[in-house]
Structures are given as structure tokens and as C-alpha cells.
């Protein structure tokens, strides 16, 4: 997950073939989809291009509605092994530019935040990573159907045509699946604001230690499908329980509070915000989380008798 989070902030020049291969061979999840290009045959053929555009629309719709992720092109669908010998052009247009143009038109409305990264793997061989960071307007529909005929002009049977146009997709159990009804309505409702939930753990580990004998762990999880941007978290509690040496480099501790700032809190990636060694005692905890695109959230918890009281 740390590797995945890092890619949201990287640019083309910072991603190596080794980085790409690590991501491609990791387990598929709601954040990662692998797609072969070589198995499609000649990418310049009309039917192949139509099917490729249909696939791009389906995947872009799914990731945009889910909140973001990675579409890896030029790898084996099953195991993520890199494919070699993929054409770098479609007609007179470079494949990267063709992908960018096709992706821009692949969903409606077309306001998806994505980038296409072309990564050299060996000699003149390249693979492609589409990084999707969500959309300004969701839910998004796929805009293309696949080809209705084979390359030789033979009509396809109706069930063989990839009919994705005007359908909504999202990521479900590591796959891009069609959605409707309540799921679409839910995406409409959550498109404007991020939302988070709180997990608090208080664990005693050494009752004989007079300095500190418990760990307080605060974990945040974004429960909507868009990241919380420029998030700031404040944690306050009774002064007598603080171990003053526990500040660390990643957060700030004052007499009775802690503060941490993050650029983004990501969907489906719980983020450990604080882990503080404290003295045992009875005390209350107040947590406040604010973000650029989120309504302020506040929680209160009580520790009593060495246990967390909800």
C-alpha cells in the first residue's frame, strides 16, 4: 500500500521499469487492474481499436466512480508479466498520445483526473500506466461500445459485443463491474465531500513501567471514494497521561495535544495517524479532523480502568 500511495505523487521520470513491475506483479485489488495489449493483435485495425476504446471507457468509469486507481497496460492479465514487442504507434499517432485522446473521450462527463505514463522496459519496448485520481463530476458512464464485427468483417454474435456505452461501472472485489440503482445514487451523494471514520486502540503493555505503560493508536480511514485533501488532525487529552518524549518526527506534541498534517487521506487505505506511548490512567480523548474537501468531523472517547469505553 505504501508503494501505491507513492505513485499518486510521482511524475513520469520518477517511475522506473522496476517500480512498474513491482506494481504489476502485486495482487490485483480495487486499486489495480492489469490489461494485455499484445493479445489484442494489430492495434491499428478498426475492430481492435473499438474494443480497446470500449475497455478503456469501462475501466476509466470504474476507477473514477471508485475514487481512483491504476490501469496497467502491456502486461499479462493473469500474472502481470511484462509484454514485449508492443507497437508504439497506432497509425501515425504515438500509442501514449492515442491512449490520452481515447481516455479523454472514454467517459461522460469527461472530467476525470488521469495521466498516462510511458515507461521503458527494454530497448524500444514500453509499457503504460494510467493513473486515475478520481473525477470532478461523478458518477461517470462509459462512452463506447466494442466492435460489432471481427477484423475480416464477419458480424459478431450479440453476446460477443462489448456493450458498455451509457453504463456505470465501479470497482467491486478487484474487478470493474456494472452498477445501477442505489450504488449510482450513493456515488451522486458522495461526489462533493470526502468522509472519514475513526479507529482508536488503547493497549496496556507494561503496568510496572512508571514512565509509560500503554499505547494509544489512532487510525483514520476514508469511507467515501474520493481522497480527503489537505487533511489536518488534532488529538487532545488530559495532560497527566502524556509521555513527553513521544513526539517523533511525523507529528507535533504540545502539553496536552497532538497535531498532524497530511496531503491526502486515500480511500480504502487506512492511515495510522498517531501511535503514542502514554501513562496508564483514566482520561478522555477528543479528535478533530478537517480537510479541504471535507466537513469537520469530531469524536470523543473515554479511557477508564485501562480500557476504551465507547
In this structure, are residues 267 and 218 in contact, taking their beta carbons and an 8 Å threshold?
Answer: no
pLDDT value at position 73? 96
Of 117, 39, 43, 53, nearest to 81 by C-alpha is 39
Per-domain boundaries in the chain: 2-190, 196-309
- What is the overall mean pLDDT for the chain? 82
**Digit-coded pLDDT (tens) for 262-304:** 888 887 778 888 887 777 778 888 888 888 888 788 888 888 8
The DSSP bridge pattern shows strands 112-122 and 125-135 to be antiparallel
Q: Which CATH number fits domain 2-190: 3.40.50.2300, 3.40.50.970, 3.90.228.20, 3.30.950.30?
A: 3.30.950.30
- Cell triple for residue 246? 513521544
Question: Checking DSSP bridges between strand 69-73 and strand 32-35, what pairing results, if any?
Answer: parallel
Least confident of 11-25, 38-52, 67-81, 101-115: 11-25
Give the pLDDT of residue 29: 82
Backbone phi, psi, residue 193, to 5°: -125, 145
Contact between 28 and 75 (Cβ < 8 Å): no
**Residue 256 corresponds to which cell in the numbers above?**
496536552
Q: pLDDT, tens digit, for every residue of 226-272? A: 788 888 888 888 766 766 544 454 566 666 788 888 888 887 778 88
pLDDT per residue as tens digits for the range 9-32 = 555 556 778 888 888 888 778 889
Burial class (CB in 10 A: 0-12, 13-18, 19+), 295: exposed
CATH T-level fold of 196-309: Immunoglobulin-like (2.60.40)
Q: Which residues contact 18 (CB under 8 A, 6 or more apart)?
A: none
Amino acid at each position: 500500500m505504501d508503494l501505491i500511495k507513492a505513485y499518486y505523487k510521482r511524475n513520469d521520470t520518477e517511475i522506473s521499469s522496476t517500480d512498474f513491475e513491482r506494481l504489476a506483479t502485486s495482487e490485483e485489488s480495487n486499486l489495480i487492474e492489469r490489461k494485455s495489449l499484445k493479445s489484442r493483435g494489430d492495434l491499428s485495425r478498426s475492430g481492435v481499436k473499438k474494443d480497446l476504446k470500449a475497455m478503456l471507457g469501462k475501466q476509466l468509469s470504474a476507477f473514477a466512480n471508485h475514487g481512483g486507481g491504476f490501469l496497467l497496460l502491456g502486461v499479462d492479465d493473469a500474472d502481470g508479466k511484462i509484454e514485449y514487442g508492443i507497437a508504439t504507434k497506432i497509425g501515425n499517432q504515438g500509442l501514449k498520445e492515442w491512449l490520452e485522446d481515447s481516455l479523454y473521450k472514454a467517459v461522460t462527463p469527461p472530467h476525470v483526473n488521469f495521466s498516462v505514463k510511458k515507461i521503458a522496459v527494454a530497448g524500444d519496448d514500453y509499457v503504460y500506466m494510467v493513473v486515475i485520481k478520481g473525477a470532478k463530476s461523478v458518477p461517470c458512464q462509459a462512452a463506447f461500445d466494442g466492435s460489432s464485427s471481427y477484423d475480416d468483417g464477419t458480424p459478431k454474435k450479440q453476446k460477443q459485443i462489448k456493450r458498455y456505452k451509457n453504463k456505470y461501472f465501479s470497482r467491486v472485489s478487484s474487478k470493474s463491474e456494472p452498477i445501477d440503482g442505489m450504488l449510482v445514487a450513493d456515488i451522486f451523494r458522495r461526489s462533493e465531500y470526502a468522509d472519514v471514520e475513526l479507529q482508536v486502540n488503547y493497549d496496556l503493555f507494561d503496568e510496572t513501567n512508571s514512565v509509560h505503560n500503554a499505547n494509544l493508536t489512532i487510525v483514520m480511514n476514508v469511507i467515501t471514494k474520493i481522497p480527503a485533501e489537505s487533511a489536518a488532525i488534532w488529538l487532545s487529552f488530559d495532560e497527566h497521561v502524556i509521555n513527553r518524549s513521544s513526539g517523533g518526527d511525523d507529528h507535533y506534541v504540545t502539553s496536552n495535544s497532538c497535531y498532524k498534517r497530511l496531503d491526502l487521506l486515500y480511500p480504502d487505505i487506512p492511515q495510522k495517524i498517531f501511535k503514542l506511548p502514554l501513562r496508564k490512567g483514566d482520561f478522555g480523548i477528543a479528535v478533530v479532523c478537517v480537510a479541504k474537501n471535507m466537513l469537520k468531523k469530531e469524536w470523543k472517547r473515554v479511557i477508564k480502568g485501562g480500557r476504551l469505553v465507547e
